[in-house]
Structures are given as C-alpha cells and as structure tokens.
Amino acid sequence: MTASVPIINISAYRFVSIDDCEALRESLQAECERLQLKGTVLIAPEGINVFLAGPREAIDAALSYLHADSRFADLNAKESLSDAPPFRYLKVKHKREIITMNRSAIQPQSGRAPAVSAATLKRWLDQGHDDAGRAVVTLDTRNAFEADLGHFEDCIDYRIDKFSEFPPAVEADAAALRDKTVVTYCTGGIRCEKAAIVMREAGIENVYQLDGGILKYFEEVGDAHWQGSCFVFDERRALDSALTPAPITHEVEQT
C-alpha cells in the first residue's frame, strides 16, 4: 500500500507597495492552478498574504515563482504538515487591504515596527522583565474568539470582534502602557505589523511585534508561557505547539 503524500501548508505575508494588483492576481491564479494548489492569496496595494497547501514539490515551485519577483524575494513562509489540504478551493483575491484596519495612514510597507524573536520573548517572560528592566506585557491583537482558544499567560486582551476595533481600544489604554515594554502578537505576524505602528503613534514607545507570530513561537520555543492552542483560518481550526491539529472543546463563533 502506497503511503499518502504529506501536505505542506504555508503561510506568508509581505507588506510592500504593489501597483499592478490585478495583473499579479491573474498570474498567481494561473500558476497556483497549474500547480493544483488549494488555499487563499490576498493581494492589495499594501502587500500580499499567502495561505497555500499542496505537495512539497508544488509548494516549492510556488515559492520560487514568488521569490523571482523582487518585491517578494525575502518572503518567508511558515510551514506545517497535514494529511490532506485544509482548504477546499483556491482563491486569489484583489482586496483593498490584506488585513483590514480601515486606517489608510497606517502603512507598514513604508517601514515595519521593531520585532522581537520568539527566543527573546521567552527569555523576557522567564525573567519577568526586558533587558532594560522594564515590565513586559503581551498584547493579543486577535479577535476574542481566537484568544479564547489560546493566549499568552496574563496577556492583555481587548475582546475585539474585528481588527478595525483595535486602534480605539489600545488608544484608550495608552496611558497604562507607556511605562511598559509591550509585545504584540497574532497568528502569523501580519496584524502586529499594523498594531505596533498604531501604538507608537499613540505615544507607547517600547512596542515590539512578535516576529513570525504565534506559529513561529511554537516552532522555535514550543508552548512556554502559552495556554491552549492557536486558531487558524482553515479546516484544521486550531494547532497545538507541535503545529499539529488540536481538538476544540467548545464551539467557536467567528464574527
């Protein structure tokens, strides 16, 4: 009996100015169809957001195709495995934003906020402060239903229902955060890119984004200081710290 071919699932994003969104959408659609990949690719003037699944050879070919474009040459993909594609279809879409905040002045493609590695965050949380002696807090930029499945211990969670609610929530809390080092986190890092910029503009100086998000943290340091699983927007629903599907013990209501 022939063993099944493992499916490689990748997620990647890049904030970069794109002025040919529709032409890029058409070319990527054609290439992903040729490679018989499943998943979702979002393209907007501010960048690209990629979720694709398929056999190793096809995934590597898709990444090579993207890397050949100088705008995506440093696109770094996070990987996980599954027995079958966790997507039913291929969707390549042209959108206004690759992650909706509804604040056009926030443009990560003009320069990203400082990031902290998973290993450094773990060390800070282990010791209870950053390297300058400031108290460290983690701030969840995801929606409430995602945080309910898993989160960092003692994190700040504004219980938002959509990302566009994040800016007013953190701006209202700015005074309480100004003397702390704040590390924002989300699934793969994309929301933190915008969140960290909003926070700096609100006068919160010591802000970092968790580089690569929760999934990169799982990959590099496991579940240290983490409780639960991580929600993902595909048919697996949630991943544990080994990046394998995790059981969901209660109904998740996406808003």
Query: How many domains is the chain built from?
Result: 2
At residue 250 the predicted structure's pLDDT band, cuts being 50, 70 and 90, is low
Supply the CATH number for residue 24's domain. 3.30.70.100
Q: What is the mean pLDDT of residues 53-80?
A: 96
pLDDT score, position 107: 78
Q: What is the pLDDT of residue 253?
A: 56
d(CA 241, CA 200): 30
pLDDT, position 103: 86
Q: Are residues 134 and 222 in the same domain?
A: yes
Which contacts qualify for 244-252: CB closer than 8 Å, 24 or more apart?
244/80, 244/81, 245/82, 248/149, 250/148, 252/145, 252/148, 252/149
pLDDT digits (tens, 9 = 90+) for 200-249: 999 999 999 999 999 999 999 999 999 999 999 999 999 999 999 998 76
User: Is 186 known to be catalytic?
Assistant: yes
Same domain, 175 and 79: no
- Residue 1 domain flag: no
Give the residue ranges of DSSP H helices in the chain. Answer: 21-34, 56-67, 118-127, 144-149, 166-172, 174-177, 190-201, 213-221
pLDDT of res. 105: 73
- Supply the DSSP symbol for 84: S
Catalytic residue among 32, 155, 186, 192: 186
Nearest Cα neighbor of 80 from 47, 40, 53 is 53
Place of tokens 């990203």: 112
Model confidence over 27-41: pLDDT tens digits? Answer: 999 999 999 999 999
Supply the CATH number for residue 174's domain. 3.40.250.10
Domain with 163, as residue range(s), is: 108-239
Q: Please tell me what DSSP assigns to residue 245.
A: B
> In this structure, are 156 and 235 located in the same domain?
yes
3-state secondary structure of 136: strand
Query: Helix %, strand %, coil % for the chain, to 5?
Result: 35, 25, 45
Q: Which two tokens stand for residue 16?
A: 């970069």
Is 61 in the same domain as 161?
no
My answer on whether 32 and 131 are in the same domain is no
